[in-house]
Chain A
Amino acid sequence: MPATQMRLRIDASRCQGHNRCRAIIPQLCGVDDLGQGVVLDQGIVRPEWLAAAELAVRNCPEFALTLEAEPTV
């Protein structure tokens, strides 16, 4: 079994800049100059951030966030 890591993505076509994710997990979600949400550090979720990342996904009003497991390189 290859090791996996979790990655958080923001779908820019759905994000409307509510910034709920930034309030919940500022280590991983930021904001650009227009107020749109952006992921930091390519969205790689450290294990200790997983619960907060999942909470951010469940709080996005526009369903713009997804969390996916991927193999580590």
Chain B
Amino acid sequence: MKDRLADALRASRADFTEIRIERTWSSSVSFRGKRLESATASEDQGGFVRAADKGCGWGIAAFTSIDQLPAMVHRARELSRAVRLDEPIRLAEVAPSQAEAVLDLDGDVRGIPLADKRRLLEAYNGEMLAVPGVVDTQAVYRDEVTEYWFGNSEGTLLYELRPEITLSGQAIARRNGTIEKGLESIGLRKGWNSAQHHAAGFRTVAERAVALLDAPTVTGGTYPVVLDNELAGVFIHEAFGHLSEADFVYENAQAREMMTLGRRFGRPVLSVGDNGAAQGLRGTLPFDDEGTPTQDTPLIKDGILVGRLHSRETAAALGERPTGNARAISFRHAPIVRMTNTYIANGQGTVQDLIKDITLGVYACGAFGGQTLLENFSFTAAYGRMIRDGALAELVKDVVLAGSLFQTLDRIERIAGDFQWNQMGGGCGKGGQFPLAVTEGAPHVRIEAALVGGDVPA
């Protein structure tokens, strides 16, 4: 395959050409309640060619018939020539790499019978079903291994073997008209071994769903809020990470002004970064989908904006260095600027230290989801606890945090020293590409004041 790719690159008449070929074997098992919904294995394969002629824009061809590769290289160039540009596309320099990177498969899932995968998931699902009050469950196991080839006309030629495994569970508890849910989600760039020993997590979320039936909805209002590690991670991804993606600013002077390096984004306690090279995480890969090596990129240092995430194109446009953040979910898509493993750096002290001087506040835990719309964000905690007189008090539900990014980042006043990476599944969506494997990490974080939706007082 490497030879076919190199031949196709040599045959290309475009000024710049890049090619990705992917072959993915995946299997998935899902349960709904006691019933197996499906157990299936799939094979997906295809290629992606991106070409640019001088004075022209991108021409892109994606295809499932790999035999068509030479024709598709030709087609990509033709499409490029249809896009006349006044300002040519420039790509920041990246030293060509030739590498074979086989990530730790940690128990190659391709050798495990589907029946074993079913048994594993059935056991986890059984943990949730065994909790009294749980009326329905959903459990999904999914794994894949992708053989990946990348090459470009500058001499980069890569081969990678990329594993991925995700487990998720949803427990629904119901009493009279009230329905509550609990979610467990595990996602790793690893294999079969890492899917073992997760029973306790499934049981915990099911028990919480039942407990939420008796919990009151949080009273809406503005509170001091302490985010747990998981939610703090989701927060930094949603509320800040997307704005640090340089494709958001590189062609827009006003947006660039908003995101000027050196601008104060928070208090000196706050440091944020994105690290695609961190060991063994879901967003980790040796190279991005433009063949740029991944790295640890500081974004906010001591409250000051110091960096952003780049593709080769956005880096060239802004005169900055590529960061290895050009990613595509599959051969069907072009690489765009994305996060990898995004984090809030460690602070000091314990979660107790953050809570002990709050008279009335909310401890928001876990994440059901989050969304940013430019400077506004909203995210939904899995559950919350009220903080009363410096101690955790009753369980509350429907904890939705909303606000403006700028205000909220600036209100992060204390950060604990208990950093932890999330190991969740799911993924990030942008530009029609979902789900992209990413993760986040954070310590406990205290926001001086944040709007908590819920029962909005009339």
Q: Do A and B bind each other?
A: no
Residues of B in contact with A (beta carbons under 8 Å apart)? none
